[in-house]
Amino acid sequence: MYTIQQVAKMTHIPATTLRYYDKEGLLPFLERRESGYRAFSDVDLAMLQVLQCLKATGMSISEMKQFSQWVQEGDSSLKERYDLFVRRKEAVEQQIAELQKSLEVINHKCDYYRRAVEAGTEKHMMGKDTLPYADEFLHGGDGK
């Protein structure tokens, strides 16, 4: 069992956030010692890792609460939990695709400005800077 300070140090999650997660019911199996202090188990640490993952994907606290409730319900909610992770996977894959496009534009602009810095000007490149995905951006993805 771990104290809240130990968990905060190990996970880099502030103790205030850990208390908030507990208060919101996101740690359904978290125990308290006789003194009233929280006692985190390895199960709680695994749950925190999942919650941090879900948070990083943009999941709301209310959705994380629902997930925690399903975890507490046990096997009767396996299908709901599976479906939730399939939806998160699809959302993350979409985010990655969008970020990949952004990275390509950024890489293009890095190359553009590197060449401009080397030349000491960008005048010779003006009007010739065709960005990746420009048609998609300008025409909503239909290229028209």
DSSP codes of every residue in 19-70: HHHHHTT--TT-EE-TTS-EEB-HHHHHHHHHHHHHHHTT--HHHHHHHHHH
Q: Give the predicted TM-score (pTM) of the model.
A: 0.72
Please, how many CA atoms are within 13 Å of residue 17, restricted to the half-sphere of its CB? 12
Residue 131 has pLDDT above 80, yes or no: no
**pLDDT number for residue 119:** 84
Give CA–CA dist 47/18, Å, rounded.
12
Give CA–CA dist 53/69, Å, rounded.
17
Beta bridge partners of 108: none
| % of the chain residues with pLDDT over 90 | 62
Instruction: Read off the pLDDT band of 140 (50, 70, 90).
Output: confident
